[in-house]
Structure formats: structure tokens, C-alpha cells
Structure 1
Amino acid sequence: MSNTPIVDILMYHSISQGSGPTTIPPNVFAEQMDAIAEAGLPVITLDDLVEARNMGKPLPDRSIILTFDDAFLDFAEEAYPVLQGHGFPAIVYLPSDYVGREELWIGSGAKPRKLMDWPKIKELAAEGIQFGSHAVTHSDLTMVTDDTLGIELNVSKAEIEDELGRPVDHFAPPYGLLNSHVTNLASSIYKTCVGTRLAQAGPVDNLHELPRIEMHYFRDITRWKAHLAGRGGAYLARRKALRWVRERLPWM
């Protein structure tokens, strides 16, 4: 155990065939999970992280948290059996207005992916999968009015809690887009908020601005194993630098 634990919060969307950044092929996902098991790194929950911060619960020197945005049906079909086989916990963030429907936010020309319906979500919740809020309408929350922001954050939480009969304490903003206004309101409603800032989470990271590691950067299983072994710092730094440049030079 350590006073300065490092947590890799992994970010997934769809576990299906495809090459886009929000898609990981099922065989690659299975290899990534196998590698975590082989490395012996514990997979913990966001609740464990909250307890460590607020109640002094010790954490391992290094651990993993598994997060899935959008609640696609392929989570149940492809991801969950692999997680179940390893006994790994996970959290799925769902946009409550799209439960049982197809996404509308995918890029032009791509086939929309279907989200899980409430019966499937309830079945997985009963098996131990945790569900968090991904707002109501999967909108860019940095661009909405104050009233709409309150609805997106509060109504999604209430709808999921009503359906599942358990607290919803964790939030992920659609597209990972945050500003101080969204963060401040989310922090009054949820215990954690995860974004898309590319980094490992350390003890000084704000629980409502937690970074994640997007797993499409680690489709190469050799590179993923090196990261798990503590030899991936240079690669992660390079990816962060490239992202910084692309965000400021969008024509690249």
C-alpha cells in the first residue's frame, strides 16, 4: 500500500469490430483484460477511490478502474463475459434518454450503435456492474444554458436511480467536455466526474476532474503490457504531446 497510489482509469466505448477511436475489437479487448490479470494489478472501483480520499482507505501502489461510456449493447454481448471471467468490476455511463435506442452522435457515414435497454441494464446491475450518468441527451454540456445543465445532470441521475433502485454517484460528461461551470455543478451532485484528459490518476487529482487513459492508444498488446509493467511513460507522454498539438492545430 502507498500514500501516493497511481490509478489507471481506463476509458472504453464500444467493444465491436471497427477502427474508430471509440471502438475496440472484442479480441483486442480480451487481450487487454488478460494482460491486466497476468500483470497482477488489482481492478478497483470508483467507490474505492472515493473511500481512499475521504475515509483514508488504503489503496494499492498501482491499480486499475474500468469505465465504459455510452452503454452500448455490445458491452453486454462482448465486454461483460470477459469481465465476468476475470471477476473484474466496471462502471458503465449511460445517457438516460437513449436507453434502448440507437446513438445519434456518431460521425457521418458510420453505422449507429444500439444502446442497452432497461431490462439488460437491470440484469447487469444485479450481477454487480455499476452504472453512472452520462447526462440525459448526450449533449455538449459546456454549450447549454444553466437550466438545461441542471436538467442534464439531475434528471439523468434520478432516472437511473428510479430504474435501478440504487444510488448513482458517478458522472462522465458527454465527449469528455468540461468547464468550470459543469465541474462545479457536477461536484454538488456526484462523488466523481471523469473526463478525457490523458493521464494516470494520482493523489492530487480532483475527484471531479479525473483523467482517463483511452484504450484505443493501446490496441498493440505489446505496448499495453509494457505500460502495465511500468515501462510506458515515454509513450504516454508522446501521446499527450500529440494530442496537445492537435487540439491547438486542428488542421493536422
Structure 2
Amino acid sequence: MTMTETSSVTTATGAIPVLLYHSVSDAPAGRFGPFTVSRSQLAAHLDLLLEKGYQPITVGAMLAGLAAGQLPPRPVVLTFDDGFADYAANAWPLLAERGLAATLYVTAGDLGGRSAWLASAGVSLPMLSRREIADLAADGCEIGAHSMTHPHLDCLPHAVAYEEIRNSKDVLEQVLGRTVDSFAYPHGYHSRATKELVIAAGYRSATAVRNAVSHADDDRYAIARVTVTSDFGIAEVARVLDGTGVRTAGPRERWQTAVWRQARRLARPSGAGRR
């Protein structure tokens, strides 16, 4: 399924950059440091977007805009994965003071706890609580699901993967008292079967990684995103926005992705699937 099954509308260039952030902190945690940006770094990125005339919108607004033919001239989507507590402390205030929208994908099984899936890397980050997530949603932040325990979904038995996908939706909907329509694949890993499980669970969209720029014809259940890492200055963000130095998402999975999935499946211990 593609976005243009509901609309043939494109932006002026056809490109819709979707940026993926993780932790926002001035004290990077060990091996997760490459996936952490500082508060000043994020602030500089946001100011650059505004200076270049981009309008940040949520994933939901992007899909609705495509369907209605009412996207802003220069859309960009800001997404934050995992649901770390530093999002409420460091990221959302910077977004809110500029009046900017964002989508936050939350690992629902760790609410109010710590990032259990990072234990093997020697990292334990505090996670957002139920109250914090509800407050963020009330303030206008779009909340999406990011599984229960952050596994490699494409390597799990289908029944187990479906529980991860569906249960995270149920948990967050209970917290928010509203529907949760978008899902983000943990680690970006997905397959055709995984996408079918997301559709069956009732989501209207899903974001992958792919490190490519999305567009109006992109797969709405594998929306391409570009990972923002600790070495991203404003020049790197500008290149993504301008479409230089980053590819546009293609219609098919790259062969390297399929090979890497098979390698991960072979390396996975027998019976693995839950923490």
C-alpha cells in the first residue's frame, strides 16, 4: 500500500524529509552516545528548519495532508523513538517554545521504568511514565507505539510479533484514552509479514528507518526516515532537507536488508523472543 492510493498529491519537489531522533541529553549514556543529541544541537536543528521555511508536521498530519491534498509547501516530519524520559525534559520544551509538532514512538512495556532492551549494551535510561505520556499528548504531541519490549520483530514467530505490536497499541490507548494510529518498527527492522501484522493490529501507518527521504509515493507502512546521530550538525541536516547526500526511498526493500535479516535470524538463540 502506498500513500498515493488515497491521493496523487505531491509537494513541490515530491520529497518529505522524516527525521528520526532518539535520546536528547547533554550527558550521553555510554554506547548509546552515537544516538544522542544535545539540547543545543536539537535547538540548532529546529532553528534551521524554521530559517529554511520548513513546517514540521506529525506523521498523522502528513498522511491526512496527502489524502486531502493540503500539505504545506515545505513539510518535514520530526519523530522521536523509544520514549526516554529526556524527551519530556529536554526535547519537548524546545519544540513547544517554537510551536513545532512532533511524533513520539513509545516502548510501552517499559513505561515508568528503564530501557531494558539496552541492558546488553550496558545502558539503562529512564523512561517516560504514564502520566508524562498523557501530559505530552494533552499538550499536542502525537504518540505512536514502538512495541512492548523493543525486539527484532522480523525475527520473531508471527504470533509473538503480533502480541508485541497489538499489545503496545492497547496499553497506550488505555493511557491516552484515544486511538494510537501509528507504529514504529524497533531498530527499523521489518518484513512484508511484519507489515501485515501491523495492518492487522489496526494501525494506519508505520515508520521504518531506511535512511532515505520519504515522498508522496512512499509505503505508508514503511515510511522512510533518516536517523539523526550525534555527529549531525546543521550542515548534515541541511543536506537531508535539500536531498543532497541522501537517497530517496525506493519502492522495494534493498537486497542488503534481506541479507542482514537472514544473518540476524541465524544468529538468534533458539527460543529467543521475549526478555
- When normalised by structure 2's length, the TM-score is 0.80
Residue in structure 2 matching 1:128, options 135, 140, 148: 140
Output aligned runs, 1:38-53, within 5 Å.
38-53=51-66
Q: 1:137 to 1:76 in 2, by over 3 A?
A: same
1:80 aligns with 2:60: no
Number of residue pairs aligned between Structure 1 and Structure 2: 240
Q: Which residue, out of 197, 204, 208, partners 1:195?
A: 208
Checking the alignment, whether the CA contact within 8 Å between 1:6 and 1:61 is kept in structure 2 is no
Equivalent residue number for residue 209 of structure 1:
222
Matched residues in 2 for 1:51 and 1:105: separation?
33
Q: For residues 80-116 of structure 1, what are the alpha-carbon distances to aligned partners after superposition, in whole Å with 9 as ceiling and x for unaligned?
A: 1100111111111111110011112226454311111
Report if aligned partners of 2:17, 2:240 keep a CA contact under 8 Å in 1. no
* Deviation for aligned residue 1:76: 0.5
Partner SS, residue 89 of structure 1: coil
- Equivalent residue letter for 2:152: D
TM-score after normalising by structure 1: 0.86
Q: Deviations over 1:48-103 (max 9, x none)?
A: 222234x3332134311111111000001100110011111111111111001111
- AA at the equivalent of 1:236: V
Match of 1:179 among 191, 210, 217: 191
Percent identity reads: 29
2:127 counterpart residue number? 115
Equivalent position amino acid for 1:209 in 2? A
Indicate the SS of the match to 1:32: helix
The answer on whether the counterparts of 1:50 and 1:191 sit within 8 Å (CA) in structure 2 is no
| Separation in structure 2 between the aligned mates of residue 90 and residue 69 of structure 1, nearest angstrom | 11
* CA gap 1:236/1:218 in 2 versus in 1, 3 angstroms: farther
Cα 1:127–1:46 shift into 2, 3 Å: same
| Range that drifts further, 14-23 or 84-93 | 14-23
Distance 1:247 1:178, change over 3 A: closer
Mapping 1:30-179, distance limit 5 Å: 30-53=43-66, 55-106=67-118, 108=120, 110-179=122-191
